[in-house]
Structure 1
Amino acid sequence: MKTLIVSQEEKMVRKRLLLLLKPFDVYPSHEPSVISSSNSLKVFRYLNDRMLVHKSAINFCQNILKKKPVDWKAVFRNDVSQAISDVDLVITVGGDGTLLQASHFMDDRIPVLGVNSDPTRPEELEKLNEEFDASRSTGYLCASTANNFEQILDEILENLYEPSELARMAISINSKLIPTSALNDVLLAHPCPATVSRFSFRSGRNEKPSSLVHCRSSGFRVSTAAGSTAAMLSAGGSAMPILSNDLQYIVREPISPVVLSHLMHGHVKFDERLEVTWFCREGLVYIDGSHLVHPIGHGDVIKLSSMAPRLKVYLPRHLLSQ
């Protein structure tokens, strides 16, 4: 009787992958016709180098995938307009912005792995500090770079690396649920940044809400734990444990007596919600930066909570140990 030898690759279930790519049009496409200074030319050439490094990372990841027992296709993030389905894993190549955009089309079933295609180099930042900002791609939520992509991918395919579940924010306007949940943060503000925003808010449970807080400020920001180290931290908030289910809010540049300052910043528990009533003729709800925007007007009620489907993300291991 002939013995059937099954290879390791045949033992593994063939997975379906979507490779979601940061586009090239975010970089300058040609050298400017008028160069105001030699420093401007340096910046242009530096940004052009960033595009080449990003392209190289994409090619590298694709070549790795060609060697693996997986079915995959590559799509630029701007070409995605419908919910992502029929795949076992989404791999984003770019930075946190690409992962954020992917999350807007994903439910709580499909995990995502972020590949930072061009990580910032601290020594380069220091060297070029007097010339220009040499920051590269931000990859706070990205577990991989081109350097360790194959290792991380193998661990995922062999079920040796488990995804974490990150809290997302549910948003409703006048009791109508917005179909997109926020992974990082939500900003309520007037369309003109120089115009004062007027609103009132309260937090708590339905049966036991807090007192109403009336505000005149430059806006109102609410973040998840994943977004607490981004704009929230820059605005004076605090970093939260990455797996926390709470929300954090801060009133931007409030016009109020100092005695009320303790009401301008706080946290909302998982089983609580924020309710904001808008008192300007115009307003915008920004979801995860400028990716998604919804208009609001005088008297509109915006409700925010962490009662949204979680997002499965393969996180950098150092985040889980904090």
Structure 2
Amino acid sequence: MARRKLLLLLKPLDAYSLGSSSNGVSRLSNPQILHHLDSRNKVHKDVISFCKNILQKKFVDWEEILRDNLCYPVRNVDVVVTFGGDGTLLHASHFVDDSIPILGVNSDPTNAEEVEEHNNEFDATRSTGYLCAATVNNFEQVLDDILEGRSVPSELTRLSVHVNSELLPMYALNDILIAHPCPAEVSWFSFRIKKEGQPYSPLLNCRSCGLRVSTATGSTAAMLSAGGFQMPISSHDLQYMVREPISPGAASSRMYGLINPNQSLDIAWYCKEGYIYVDGSQVRYYIKHGDTIEVSARAPLLRVYLPPHLLGQGGSYFRRNPVGEKRELSKM
């Protein structure tokens, strides 16, 4: 049997250096915060070393690269293993196709007791690893299950975007946000839902803080925080929401909803400038007045080894209106 080849994608250690300036002098006066940042740095570094020691005992070869240095498509590896949290896994997802699975290792999990202890002093939360199947405690078992074929990656929907009929080079795993560069400015656009062989939905003209579209994976992130609803992670639908619409009136019920896999969201942009933000703020594409944008789920699926609590999700989608009533929107 051929040796398996892995790519290790590492969150950089300087991600935890917020407490120091370039000359090493502390910029923070609270010693507890400094201790917390130092602890995060050490935990992350120790986990990487521990997992590398495990890899040395396995029938694998690997190379490693810092997250910020990955800017090209990944080829010729069997698995990408990310060390960090969901942000590092998201970054990896922008550079792999549907042939290479990803295993996320949460290298710095939040400790509930630590958060409770420092709740009145500072934010002691650590890395979010919602999509990460492994931690330092179970890494070897998860890895063995993958290498011996006992674990199968799940297929997650990604989101594709065309601007003026040109496909953007990166697919979104979580969501996109289309908005004016200045958060205090109004975003002016219109959109409608298109389905092949059927008439368009009525045009909806919007002045708001922008438009967010998420996958099922991203429905637990910014979309949920904005008042959206959690979707089963296996769903191939997309969810959209107009952010803080100005005077929606009778059209308020059309300011959010679902886009089925055989549909697309067609958007016309009317501001002088704007951006399409992909999976957060680090990847963005400039748009201008008159540009047309098509958003759909017609993108290569992403294969991810998921934690057990995310497997086998199913059921209905619900969204709470402002008074708390649940309204069923769709079923799997």
Distance 1:113 1:286 in 2: 25
Which of residues 111, 115, 119 is equivalent to 2:101? 111
Which of residues 237, 240, 263 is equivalent to 2:231? 240
Distance 1:105 1:22 in 2: 15
Distance 2:269 2:83 in 1: 38
Number of aligned residues = 309
For 1:185, the equivalent position in structure 2 comes to 175
For 1:15, the equivalent position in structure 2 comes to 4
Larger radius of gyration: 1
For 2:187, the equivalent position in structure 1 comes to 197
- Structure 2 SS opposite 1:171: strand
CA-atom RMSD in angstroms? 1.4
8 Å Cα contact 2:28/2:34 also seen in 1: no
Distance 2:134 2:151 in 1: 12
8 Å Cα contact 1:115/1:144 also seen in 2: yes
8 Å Cα contact 1:21/1:76 also seen in 2: yes
Distance 2:240 2:258 in 1: 6
Amino acid at match of 1:187: L
For 2:149, the equivalent position in structure 1 comes to 159
**Residue 204 of structure 1, CA deviation:** 3.0
Distance 1:150 1:87 in 2: 19
**Residue 45 of structure 1, CA deviation:** 1.9
Distance 2:37 2:209 in 1: 32
Percent identity between the two aligned chains: 57
8 Å Cα contact 2:19/2:27 also seen in 1: no
Is 1:147 matched up with 2:117?
no
For 1:170, the equivalent position in structure 2 comes to 160
For 1:316, the equivalent position in structure 2 comes to 307
For 1:8, the equivalent position in structure 2 comes to none
8 Å Cα contact 2:220/2:229 also seen in 1: yes
Structure 1 gaps, min length 5:
1-11
For 1:62, the equivalent position in structure 2 comes to 52
For 1:9, the equivalent position in structure 2 comes to none
For 1:96, the equivalent position in structure 2 comes to 86
- Structure 2 SS opposite 1:67: coil
- Structure 2 SS opposite 1:45: helix
The TM-score, its normalising length taken from structure 1, stands at: 0.93
Residues 243-282 of structure 1: pairs in structure 2 closer than 5 A: 243-282=234-273
8 Å Cα contact 1:35/1:41 also seen in 2: no
Distance 1:180 1:31 in 2: 34
The TM-score, its normalising length taken from structure 2, stands at: 0.90
Change (3 A) 1:35 1:92: closer
Distance 1:204 1:45 in 2: 53
